[in-house]
Structure 1
Amino acid sequence: MSHQRDIDLVNELLSQGAETDWLEFKRDNVEPDTIGVRCSALANAARLAGKDMAYMLWGIDNATVSVAGTRFNPDTQKAHGQELAFWLAQQLQPSIPFQFRSVEHPAGPVVILDIPAATSAPVTFKNIPYIRIGSATPKLTNYPERYQQLIEKLRPYTWEHAIARQYVSGDEVLTLIDYSSYFKLTKQPLPDNRTGIFDKLSAERLIVRDVSDKWNITNLGAILFASDLSQFDSALARKAVRFIAYAGKNRAAGVSHRIDGKKGYAVGFEGLIEFINGMLPKNEHIDSALRTEQPLFPILAVRELIANALIHQDMTITGAGPQIEVFADRMEITNPGKPLVPADRMIDLPPRSRNEALAALMRRMGMCEEQGSGLDKVIAAVELYQLPPPLFREEGGAMQVVLYGPRTFAQMTPDERIRACYHHAVLRFLSGERMKNASLCERFGIDLKNAAQTSSVIKKAFEKGLVRVADPEHPRAGYVPWWA
């Protein structure tokens, strides 16, 4: 962390003029239990105050609120025979990533203790939660109304709002972030002054104000609008989209094209989709004696599935990002993180996203369908092309979707036919209709005189418990998914 930023932070905290519920000054008091109680109280009070961080500063004269210097050295300080920081980490629950830093301030040595605000639960010290009221630190349970307020304000960790780049100047923000793309994609006019630009980016939580007229770029701002993700730390840079095209039907065939993306998702999305569609093999289609070429996979399906991979990945998994692999007969789209919705219910259940801010902004920018209407349109496009059904599966702690190229009913495997039958039943149900033999014939491109083929598929799907008769008293009324 920047030494100058620490000096600016000390000066800004001193400018408060006095201690607050999330800020405490000390001179040399390093009694371990006192520090522990204060950590719990300040972490909880900071969340109540709407702050993401609380602070304790040593080396401050409380009466004059000025730097007086301290002899406290957190690296050598002991607590009950252990290193202070190690002992403190054992006593605080849930574990919070607090940090001691020694600062050579021009007016004298200062020690800063960063205390992250409570997130998932009240922070306790030796199993007791505390709160700060004025300069007092009573037990939180003695103030039930504050306890209830804190519970209501607690929220799970939000990756999007964490900091990707700290303490950068306004000029650096405008270099690192493709701000013009933000205004273009959200269909807003570009402000004619810097203040207007920064107000909008800040309101969107793409950036947040730091100390001394500096800014922090959030993970949301970087992952969506970075001009170059490699300018951020490696954990974020590795979340760039990776595209690999193989010369055959497996990875042994050799790589024909490979691109490791560098742009933020929003900045590079349209270019990525256009590139992929240009790279995809074409399928010859004859209609009314005219010979035309169509993409091997529906463009809508490709677009929606890639957007879903970006949105639903587990951002907390380091060293991994979305990957798109194209083979001669299929496309595999993989994103890190186990799916939050069972694979067999992804078409109909409302999506659950780990990254709500990312998802909402991408939808506003038109990069994917409105919530809950994406995968059903993917399946509908696949049916229109009469392709084998896509495969949704969990693969080694990651989510993978496989789109297959054209194959006739006879060329599909028995499992693919059954899965296509289930998908078709889901689509019909979501449209207020029921699957029938005739509709499944149309889906597979089978002439009605050969309906016995689809009757066999429906029977097998029924036996596997994937579909059921819509009305047992009227078996010819059609079929619905098992969960309907």
Structure 2
Amino acid sequence: MSDARTLALIGELLALPAETAWVEFKENNTDAEMIGKRISALSNAARLADKPFAYLLWGVRDADHAAIGTAFEPTSAKQQGQPLELWLAQRLQPAVVFDFKAVDYHGVRLVLLEIPAATNSPVEFDRQAHIRIGSATPKLSDHPERLKALWARLQPYAWEAGIAAQFLNGDAVLERLDYAVYFDLTGQSLPDNRAGIFEKLAADGLIQADVGGYWNITNLGAVLFARRLTDFPPTIARKAIRFVAYDGLGRADVVTHRRDVQRGYAAGFSELVDYIDGLIPRNEYIGKAFRQQQPLYPAIAIRELAANALIHQDMTIRGTGPLVEMFKDRLEITNPGQPLVQPERFLDFPPRSRNEALAALMRRMRLCEEQGTGIDKVLVAVELHQLPPPDFRVEGEAVRAVLYAPRRFAEMTPQERVRACYQHAALKHVSGQRMTNASLRERMGIDPQNAAQASAIIKLALGQVLIRPADAAHPRAGYVPFWA
């Protein structure tokens, strides 16, 4: 928190007609237990009031809220032999990144404690959550109606609403965000004045008003529209999409191309897809009249999988972001975070995302599919080109989608054949049809006289309980996925 912002903030706090549930004044009361309970109470109260922070300000007279100064020294204060800040941090759950700041406010020494609002669960001190009601700080459990209301506020809290850059003037906001791309992709006319620009950016949660006429850029605004992600803290900068191409089949091979897309996702997404498309080898075939070139991987499959990686990543995992890797025989797209839906159900489950605001805005900008049909499009494109089935898998704390280069049926492994069978049955089912031996032969490029090969694959898929007969009494009725 900059000195200028701190002074402006204190001025606004002192101008309040009275203390609020998320603002409290003290003169010299520095009791550690009191501070711990107030952090819990104020943090919870700030979330209830839809405020990003709560504040405890020392050096203010209670009677008239005049700034008179304080002798409180939080950095040197101790409790039970420990530094005060460490003692407090050990007793707060979940962890709270509070910040003490001593300030010379017009010749008077004040101490400001900035407390972030509760995010995932009520903040507890010594395993007890508190809340502010007037000037009292009771246990939250004694007020079930407020506890219920707080949980209702906590549920929609999302990473996107966090602050990526704080206390910026208007020029700095427009320098960091590519606002022209925002208006272009959302189909809105660019306002003819700055006030109109800021109003639109704030309405979509890309910025929010700070004190003193300044602005904050939210995580959503930064990750989508940053001119340079490196202009923001590492929590944002490390979310850049990375592309790596290898001259071989593994990561130990020579890296031929490497690119970190430093623009925000909205501005950099098409740039990345075009860059990958330019590097993908082409297969040449003879059409009706001319030789034509076809990329190894369908463009729509790359686009949808890359968009899914952006939307469904767990933004709270630090130090990593979406990764696209191209090998000689495959393309791998990885995003951090455990999936909210099991990979084998990506096709039929309604879309779910940790980052609803990000997903909604990307859909508005038509950077990804709108009806939860992205995986459908990937599988349709793969089947149309008779490629090996894509593989969706969980690896540690990440989800990886793998597109494979063309291979003949004879070169596919038994497990790949079974996976293709399951995906084909699922795709048929969601389109109101049933998989048959004939449809599987067509999907796999098997000659009609080799129908026994398709039957063998179906038998393996039945044995692994990935598919089942659509009608047990009529074997020729076709097959459906196990969850149908």
**TM-score normalised to the size of structure 2?**
0.96
Q: CA deviation at 1:357?
A: 1.2
Q: Tell me the secondary structure at the aligned position of residue 212 of structure 1.
A: helix
What is the match of residue 19 of structure 1?
A: 19
Q: Tell me the secondary structure at the aligned position of residue 465 of structure 2.
A: coil
What is the match of residue 443 of structure 1?
A: 443
Residue 205 of structure 2 is aligned to residue 193 of structure 1: no
Q: CA deviation at 1:253?
A: 4.2
Q: Tell me the secondary structure at the aligned position of residue 211 of structure 2.
A: coil
- Change over 3 Å in CA distance of 1:82–1:258 after alignment to 2: closer
Q: CA deviation at 1:37?
A: 2.5
Residue 203 of structure 2 is aligned to residue 203 of structure 1: yes
Of the structure 1 ranges 272-281 and 373-382, higher mean CA displacement relative to structure 2 is found in 272-281
Residue 338 of structure 2 is aligned to residue 338 of structure 1: yes
Distance 1:120 1:318 in 2: 17
- For 1:25-44, list aligned pairs within 5 A: 25-44=25-44
Q: Decide whether the 8 Å contact of 1:8 with 1:211 is kept in 2.
A: yes
Q: CA deviation at 1:131?
A: 2.2
Distance 2:189 2:156 in 1: 34
Distance 1:129 1:407 in 2: 60
- Change over 3 Å in CA distance of 1:232–1:151 after alignment to 2: closer
Residue 215 of structure 2 is aligned to residue 215 of structure 1: yes
Q: Decide whether the 8 Å contact of 1:17 with 1:65 is kept in 2.
A: no
Of the structure 1 ranges 231-240 and 201-210, higher mean CA displacement relative to structure 2 is found in 231-240
- Change over 3 Å in CA distance of 1:129–1:244 after alignment to 2: closer
- For 1:65-464, list aligned pairs within 5 A: 65-155=65-155, 158-288=158-288, 290-464=290-464
Distance 2:31 2:254 in 1: 64
The amino acid of 1:220's aligned partner reads: L
Distance 2:438 2:348 in 1: 23
Where does structure 1 lack aligned partners over 5 or more consecutive residues?
none
The amino acid of 1:75's aligned partner reads: T
Distance 1:149 1:320 in 2: 34
Distance 2:263 2:193 in 1: 25
Q: Tell me the secondary structure at the aligned position of residue 292 of structure 2.
A: strand
The amino acid of 1:79's aligned partner reads: Q
Q: CA deviation at 1:446?
A: 2.2
Distance 1:139 1:399 in 2: 41
Distance 1:285 1:406 in 2: 14
Distance 1:279 1:23 in 2: 56
Distance 2:204 2:407 in 1: 46
The amino acid of 2:16's aligned partner reads: Q
Deviations along 1:77-117, one digit per CA (max 9) or x if unpaired, are 22344322222223333332222111122231111111222
Q: CA deviation at 1:151?
A: 2.5
The amino acid of 1:471's aligned partner reads: D
Distance 2:121 2:404 in 1: 45
Q: CA deviation at 1:252?
A: 4.4
Distance 2:171 2:295 in 1: 43
Q: CA deviation at 1:457?
A: 0.8
The amino acid of 2:113's aligned partner reads: L
Deviations along 1:330-381, one digit per CA (max 9) or x if unpaired, are 1111122222222222222223322111111111111111242110110011
The amino acid of 1:100's aligned partner reads: F
Of the structure 1 ranges 39-48 and 196-205, higher mean CA displacement relative to structure 2 is found in 39-48
What is the root-mean-square deviation in Å for CA atoms of aligned residues? 1.7
The amino acid of 2:87's aligned partner reads: W
Distance 1:284 1:154 in 2: 55
- Change over 3 Å in CA distance of 1:435–1:151 after alignment to 2: same
Where does structure 2 lack aligned partners over 5 or more consecutive residues?
none
Residue 47 of structure 2 is aligned to residue 61 of structure 1: no
What is the match of residue 9 of structure 1?
A: 9
Q: Tell me the secondary structure at the aligned position of residue 13 of structure 1.
A: helix
Distance 2:316 2:109 in 1: 36
- Change over 3 Å in CA distance of 1:327–1:37 after alignment to 2: closer
Q: Decide whether the 8 Å contact of 1:336 with 1:399 is kept in 2.
A: yes
Q: Tell me the secondary structure at the aligned position of residue 101 of structure 2.
A: strand
Distance 2:412 2:287 in 1: 23
Q: Tell me the secondary structure at the aligned position of residue 149 of structure 1.
A: helix
Of the structure 1 ranges 296-305 and 255-264, higher mean CA displacement relative to structure 2 is found in 255-264
Distance 2:83 2:295 in 1: 63
Of the structure 1 ranges 402-411 and 125-134, higher mean CA displacement relative to structure 2 is found in 125-134
- Change over 3 Å in CA distance of 1:89–1:465 after alignment to 2: same
Of the structure 1 ranges 474-483 and 352-361, higher mean CA displacement relative to structure 2 is found in 352-361
Of the structure 1 ranges 249-258 and 471-480, higher mean CA displacement relative to structure 2 is found in 249-258
Q: CA deviation at 1:51?
A: 1.3
Q: Decide whether the 8 Å contact of 1:119 with 1:156 is kept in 2.
A: no
What is the match of residue 480 of structure 1?
A: 480
Q: Tell me the secondary structure at the aligned position of residue 331 of structure 1.
A: strand
Distance 2:424 2:31 in 1: 68
The amino acid of 2:447's aligned partner reads: D
Q: Decide whether the 8 Å contact of 1:22 with 1:55 is kept in 2.
A: yes
Of the structure 1 ranges 88-97 and 29-38, higher mean CA displacement relative to structure 2 is found in 88-97
- Change over 3 Å in CA distance of 1:188–1:255 after alignment to 2: same
Distance 2:234 2:50 in 1: 30
The amino acid of 1:302's aligned partner reads: I
Distance 2:43 2:268 in 1: 39
Of the structure 1 ranges 60-69 and 295-304, higher mean CA displacement relative to structure 2 is found in 60-69
- Change over 3 Å in CA distance of 1:287–1:359 after alignment to 2: same
Distance 1:357 1:351 in 2: 14
The amino acid of 1:54's aligned partner reads: A
Distance 2:422 2:318 in 1: 36
Of the structure 1 ranges 318-327 and 282-291, higher mean CA displacement relative to structure 2 is found in 282-291
Distance 2:403 2:198 in 1: 41
Q: Tell me the secondary structure at the aligned position of residue 338 of structure 1.
A: coil
Distance 2:99 2:174 in 1: 30
Q: Decide whether the 8 Å contact of 1:67 with 1:107 is kept in 2.
A: no
The amino acid of 1:279's aligned partner reads: L
Distance 1:254 1:124 in 2: 51
Distance 2:105 2:5 in 1: 11
The amino acid of 1:373's aligned partner reads: T
Deviations along 1:245-281, one digit per CA (max 9) or x if unpaired, are 2233334442222212111010111121112112111
